[in-house]
Amino acid sequence: MSGSSSSSTWPVHEYRVVPWTTPPDVRGSDGRRPNVKERMLTEITVEVPPRIADVEVQLTPALASQCREVEDAIARLDARYGDVLTGLTAFLVRSESVASSRIEQVHADLDDIARASVAHEATQEARMTVAAAGAMDILVRGQEPGGEFSPEIALTAHHRLQQTDRWNHSHAGRYRDMQNWIGGSDVSPRNAVHVPPPPDEVEPLMADLAAFLNRDDVPPLAQAALAHAQFEAIHPFVDGNGRIGRGLIAVALRRRRVATQVVVPVAAAMLADVDRYFDTLTAYRRGDAAAMVSYLTRAAAHATTEAAVSAQRLSAMPQQWREQARPRAGSGAALLIDELTAHPVLDATAAQGLIDRSAPRTYEALERLTECGVLRETTGAARDRVWVAVDVMDEIEDLDERIGARSLPPKHWR
């Protein structure tokens, strides 16, 4: 496998012509019916990914060295902060889920996401982002370090992602039984940029992908990159493929014990230049696997560097909050400060459970920390209020911006 975007030994996808009928009464999301050319469409060309369970992964010495260097950096981040900073994993899961959702054009304000995370009234986009965080958490916790990967982990995570989706809840947690496509129109694959394999190919292809993920003879970052690209090529679900597929990167690194505690927030790098990300996935389908490995290695390097900065900032926050609020030792406010990096979003019930104080004392703590700017109340209501730790939420946005700035090409290349 070459280290550039040139051709490689990786097998290309098979193009297969299959019959197609556009239902005459189907309607797109905009309400329109199929046009004449869509109604006359009788066959489509699908892309069937190769089986990769036993394909040899060949990296140039330079690319293999880059993989090892970044894997070592991820492992250092995991070892230094994963056990001692309890809020880091939740923070990175939240950050990764926000960026991954935004790649799919699911945009939600962080305060709205906070309200949705405690079952408060919120926008559909916020609820979808919270569901993505829940799915990522299932993927990470469901994969034992050194254990065997099972497609059931992806199915369970997909159920969490889609179970409350207004359009696709009936497909949650199961492989698609219909043809899907990317691009084109809502009603037919005509002019689509990618038409994945027919539905009867999905389950065997996912079993093959699981076998690839369970290998230990492939550099972990390369394995994560190729597994992600293969998953996106299969597109096994009706919806939610991008968010679950990017989550597989964390699964692969956890299984190989590179990152057993933290999640590397690579989606922020992808979000910074979505076109380059999608172009690299297309290159993979054309047989250029090295481009995908190189791309993820660079993205992970940027994400790991900036995640370490966030870890340092998170670890310093409790002391900064104590100086800011000057709570009495043992008070509700002091106890709550110790919990905020791990629980930056909370309502009164959650806060009371964390500090084990009466409801009046809990409200006193919340009001004290709000008055001094440690917390911000997000609803503006007198009842069912939701608070966020200001510095933690700001750091999520800042982390995404820093990774994005690192990941963008120089201006004269744009």
Q: What is the CA radius of gyration of the chain?
A: 23
Sign of CA dihedral 379, 263, 290, 245: negative
CA dihedral 231, 235, 237, 240 (to 10 degrees): 80
Q: Which CATH architecture has domain 318-400?
A: Orthogonal Bundle (1.10)
Query: Distance between alpha carbon 253 and the CA centroid of its chain, in Å?
Result: 14
Q: HEC string of 102-169?
A: HHCCCCCCHHHHHHHHCCCCCCHHHHHHHHHHHHHHHHHHHCCCCCCCCHHHHHHHHHHHHCCCCCCH
Binding residue numbers: 239-246
Domain 14-308 = CATH 1.10.3290.10: yes
Q: Tell me, what's the pLDDT at 28?
A: 84
What whole-number distance in Å separates Cα of residue 244 and Cα of residue 34? 30
Write down the H helix ranges in 235-288.
241-255, 267-272, 274-285
Binding residue numbers for ATP: 239-246
CA dihedral 74, 244, 131, 340 (to 10 degrees): 0
Q: In a 10 Å sphere around its CB, with 0-12 CB exposed, 13-18 middle and 19+ buried, how is residue 412 labelled?
A: exposed
Task: Give domain limits for the chain.
Answer: 14-308, 318-400
Q: Tell me, what's the pLDDT at 120?
A: 76
Q: Tell me, what's the pLDDT at 7?
A: 39
Q: What is the mean pLDDT of each run of 10 residues along the chain (414 residues)?
A: 51 96 88 91 97 97 98 96 75 90 91 88 91 95 97 98 93 97 92 97 98 98 98 97 97 97 93 94 96 98 95 95 97 97 95 97 98 96 94 93 80 38
Residue 235: active-site member: yes
Q: Which of 120, 158, 228, 235 is catalytic?
A: 235
In sequence order, what are the beta bridge partners of 16? 46
CA-based nearest residue to 15, from 51, 49, 55 = 49
Q: Tell me, what's the pLDDT at 292?
A: 98
CA-based nearest residue to 137, from 189, 95, 75 = 95
DSSP per-residue string spanning 328-373: PTTSHHHHHHTTTTT--EEEHHHHHHHHT--HHHHHHHHHHHHHTT
Looking at this protein, which amino acid is placed at residue 338? D
Q: Are the C-beta atoms of residues 186 and 29 closer than 8 Å to each other? A: yes
Q: Tell me, what's the pLDDT at 5?
A: 36
Q: Are the C-beta atoms of residues 38 and 187 closer than 8 Å to each other? A: yes
Q: Tell me, what's the pLDDT at 412?
A: 37
Q: Tell me, what's the pLDDT at 411?
A: 46
Q: Tell me, what's the pLDDT at 325?
A: 98
Q: Report DSSP state, residue 181.
A: -
In sequence order, what are the beta bridge partners of 375? 389
Q: Report DSSP state, residue 18.
A: E
What whole-number distance in Å separates Cα of residue 299 and Cα of residue 287? 21
Q: Tell me, what's the pLDDT at 203?
A: 98
**SS3 category, 185:** coil
Place of tokens 């070459």: 2
Residues 6+ apart with CB under 8 A from 72: none
Dmax (CA) of the chain? 75
What whole-number distance in Å separates Cα of residue 87 and Cα of residue 263? 12
Looking at this protein, which amino acid is placed at residue 345? V
The strands making up 386-389's β-sheet, listed across from edge to edge, are 345-347, 386-389, 375-377
CA-based nearest residue to 166, from 235, 106, 232 = 106
Q: Give the angle subtended at the CA of 389 by the CAs of 388 and 392, to the nearest 5°.
A: 120
Q: Tell me, what's the pLDDT at 86?
A: 62
